[in-house]
Amino acid sequence: MLAMPSGTLACPDTDRQHRLAAQLAAMIPGAATIWVSLNDPKQRWPHLHATVTDEAGKTLEPNRTTVRVAARWILRVWPEANWDRPHVFDLSDATLTRSDLVAVGQGR
C-alpha cells in the first residue's frame, strides 16, 4: 500500500480492526469495550492485563484465558500504539483510544 509523505498509509486498512471487533463481540457476549494494559495491578512486573465492560459500564467477568487472548489480539492489531499507557478498544466502532483520553472525553 502506498504511503503519504507523512509516512501514514494512503488508505488505512480498517478491515482488520472491524474483523477483530466482530470476533471479540462474538467471543465475549455483551462486551462493549476492552481496556488493555501491560501493567497488571496484581503483579510487580509488567504483565498483560485487560478489563471487559458492557454498554452500561459494568465489568464483565469472562474467564482469564478469554481476556488474555482478547488483549493479545488487540496488541497485535495495533503494534505501533504506545503500550506504556493503557488503551480502550471500543467494539462498536472498532477504535482504539488511550484510556486517559477516554476519561476526559477527547478525540480518538
Would you mind telling me the total number of residues written for the chain in this entry? Answer: 108
DSSP class of residue 39? B
pTM of the model: 0.78
Give yes or no for residue 106 having a pLDDT over 60.
Answer: no
pLDDT for the residue 107: 46
Average the pLDDT over 81-107 and give the result. Answer: 82
Residue with cell 486517559: 100
Q: Note the pLDDT tens digit of each residue in 7-56.
A: 555 455 679 999 999 999 999 999 999 999 987 777 777 778 899 999 99
39 DSSP β-pair partners: 47
Average the pLDDT over 78-98 and give the result. Answer: 93
Cα gap 78→76, rounded to integer Å? 5
Give yes or no for residue 3 having a pLDDT over 70.
Answer: no
Cα gap 85→37, rounded to integer Å? 7
Give yes or no for residue 102 having a pLDDT over 70.
Answer: no
Pick the more confident residue, 40 or 3.
40
Cα gap 21→37, rounded to integer Å? 18
pLDDT for the residue 5: 56
Backbone angles phi, psi at 32, to 5 degrees: -115, -40
Cα gap 39→86, rounded to integer Å? 8
